[in-house]
């Protein structure tokens, strides 16, 4: 098989790495890809993830058998529809199905229509009305920009003053552009978060292990929301009983509802969940693509071949009895640029990459790097690297991930020091 992976970030690096190890795959092509993918894929740097015609021509010219779309923006804009119209097998949902992520208000209204458990919410297009609402609430809440914000655009607020600041940033200052033209004010859920992944072909489902992301910038879940500062898999909060509820109350009703509304979901349904003390799951958000950095941990933990699942889902032929085998655990620690998730400098030389990857069961996935004229890797984004390690359990994987992260350095490097602590505390 020849597989085209669309995208250039850490998630796509992990997908390229895993797909390239499939015995079914002759070649992986990455568009536009990144310098770090060169060992596993042939890049097409001239073809951007948003250039639908160029992607279709590339797939035709290279006799591609399967297209795997990494980022959410092209899916929301209809890339899967465009490529399927050319007869290509595409792993990723249609534009209509991608509304589960592209519009938070559409997703909330869909969940309400189909009885999927979620927090209470209200949508506002007027900033004054939104401010009046949070003042009336008078307590903790969540403010979300309605559109796509690359995993950000969410403010978890302790009080009305914090919520008003978030409303100003999103609707007044337009920190996230047009994504903040409308906001949702949501009930702040209590419990433990988890990321649950279901590979879907429109009707059938094969599940991956649950993971847990660390969204806040600072240790102890403090600071601003980011695209993710680290992750681990499996997530102990998702017990067998909790998983049963996730499937029965969330995944299957969502797939059934999408079919009923004429937009069957093909791709990976990423359920961002809050699990309360009684084990009841509610949907914090849906994403319609693999998460970042959870994918780095999930794919390192996964045993066996990912490609048959992606291909079968793309063609509507999933075997519901298929089972994903995993080993032990995996942890991914993100190294970010100084100043992230706000402004940051680029072009900082990175040292220690080879030393880190010399450790057993360690893979360093590149999220925001490039090679400079001297051939060195330098920083080129907010989240720079995802240092991932596997182990017999979360504690061992965490130890290896931080040992590897300690060997890498660049000016301004920031990271959290408590990735997976909650899982280890739960086990202890």
What local confidence, expressed as pLDDT, does residue 427 receive?
A: 59
Q: Does domain 121-186 have CATH number 3.30.1490.20?
A: yes
- Domain 2-92 belongs to what topology? Rossmann fold (3.40.50)
Give per-residue pLDDT as tens, 239-275. 999 999 999 999 999 999 999 999 999 999 999 999 9
Give per-residue pLDDT as tens, 89-133. 999 999 999 999 999 999 999 999 999 999 999 999 999 999 999
pLDDT band at 179 (very low <50, low <70, confident <90, very high): confident
What local confidence, expressed as pLDDT, does residue 152 receive?
A: 72
Using only the alpha carbons of the chain, give its radius of gyration: 20
Say if CB 390 and CB 327 are below 8 A apart: yes
Whole-prediction pTM: 0.92
CATH number of 192-427: 3.30.470.20
pLDDT above 90 for 147: no
What local confidence, expressed as pLDDT, does residue 209 receive?
A: 83
pLDDT band at 196 (very low <50, low <70, confident <90, very high): very high
- Tell me the average pLDDT across 163-177: 92
Domain coordinates in residue numbering, the chain: 2-92, 121-186, 192-427
What local confidence, expressed as pLDDT, does residue 164 receive?
A: 93
**Rounded distance between C-alpha atoms, residue 40 and residue 51, angstroms:** 23
Give per-residue pLDDT as tens, 262-313. 999 999 999 999 999 999 999 999 999 999 999 999 999 999 999 999 999 9
Secondary element (H or E) of residue 97: none
Supply the DSSP string of 193-249, one letter for each residue.
Answer: EEEEEEEEESS-EEE---BEE--EEETTTEEEE-S-SEEEES-TTS-HHHHHHHIII
Distance of CA 199 to the CA centre of its chain: 14
- Tell me the average pLDDT across 348-362: 98
Tally the residues of the chain.
428
pLDDT above 90 for 224: no
Task: Count CB-CB contacts under 10 A for residue 190.
Answer: 9
What local confidence, expressed as pLDDT, does residue 150 receive?
A: 67
Question: Own/partner pairs for 344-347, CB < 8 Å, 24+ apart?
Answer: 344/382, 344/412, 345/379, 345/412, 346/378, 346/379, 346/380, 346/381, 347/372, 347/378, 347/379, 347/380
Parallel, antiparallel, or unpaired for β 154-157 and 141-145?
antiparallel
pLDDT above 70 for 357: yes
**Rounded distance between C-alpha atoms, residue 81 and residue 238, angstroms:** 34
- Tell me the average pLDDT across 202-213: 94
pLDDT above 90 for 151: no
């Amino acid at each position: 098989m020849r597989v085209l992976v669309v995208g250039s970030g850490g998630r796509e690096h992990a997908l390229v790495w895993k797909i390239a190890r499939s015995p079914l795959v002759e070649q992986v092509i990455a568009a536009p890809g990144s310098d770090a993918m060169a060992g596993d894929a042939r890049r097409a740097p001239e073809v951007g993830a948003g250039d639908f015609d160029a992607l279709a021509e590339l797939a035709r010219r290279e006799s591609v058998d399967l297209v795997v779309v990494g980022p959410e923006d092209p899916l929301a804009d209809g890339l899967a529809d465009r490529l399927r119209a050319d007869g290509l097998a595409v792993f990723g949902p249609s534009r209509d199905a991608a509304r589960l992520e592209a519009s938070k208000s559409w997703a909330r209204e869909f969940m309400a229509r189909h009885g999927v458990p979620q927090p209470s919410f209200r949508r506002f297009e007027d900033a004054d009305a939104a401010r009046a609402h949070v003042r009336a609430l008078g307590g903790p809440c969540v403010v979300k920009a309605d559109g796509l914000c690359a995993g950000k655009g969410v403010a978890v607020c302790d009080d009305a003053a914090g919520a008003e600041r978030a409303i100003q940033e999103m609707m007044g200052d337009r920190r996230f552009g047009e994504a903040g033209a409308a906001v949702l004010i949501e009930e702040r859920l209590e419990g433990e978060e988890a990321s649950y992944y279901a590979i879907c072909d429109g009707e059938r489902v094969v599940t991956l292990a649950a993971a847990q992301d660390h969204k806040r910038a600072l240790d102890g879940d403090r600071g601003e929301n980011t695209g993710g500062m680290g992750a681990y898999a499996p997530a102990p909060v998702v017990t067998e009983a909790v998983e049963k509820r996730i499937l029965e109350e969330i995944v299957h009703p969502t797939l059934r509802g999408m079919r009923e509304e004429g937009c069957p979901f093909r791709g990976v349904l990423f359920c961002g969940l809050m699990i309360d003390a009684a084990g009841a799951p509610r949907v914090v958000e849906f994403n319609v693509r693999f998460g970042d950095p959870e994918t780095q941990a999930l794919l390192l933990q996964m045993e066996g071949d990912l490609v048959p699942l992606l291909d079968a889902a793309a063609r509507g032929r999933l075997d519901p009895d298929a089972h994903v085998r995993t080993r032990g655990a995996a942890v991914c620690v993100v190294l970010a640029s100084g100043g992230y998730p706000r402004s940051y400098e680029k072009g900082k030389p990175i040292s220690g990459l080879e030393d880190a990857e010399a450790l057993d069961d360690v893979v360093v996935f590149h999220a925001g790097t490039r090679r400079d004229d001297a051939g060195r890797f330098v920083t080129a984004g907010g989240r720079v690297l995802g240092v991932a390690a596997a182990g017999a359990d979360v504690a061992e994987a965490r130890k290896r991930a931080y040992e590897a992260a300690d060997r890498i350095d660049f000016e301004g490097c920031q990271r959290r020091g408590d990735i997976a602590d909650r899982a280890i505390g739960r086990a202890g």
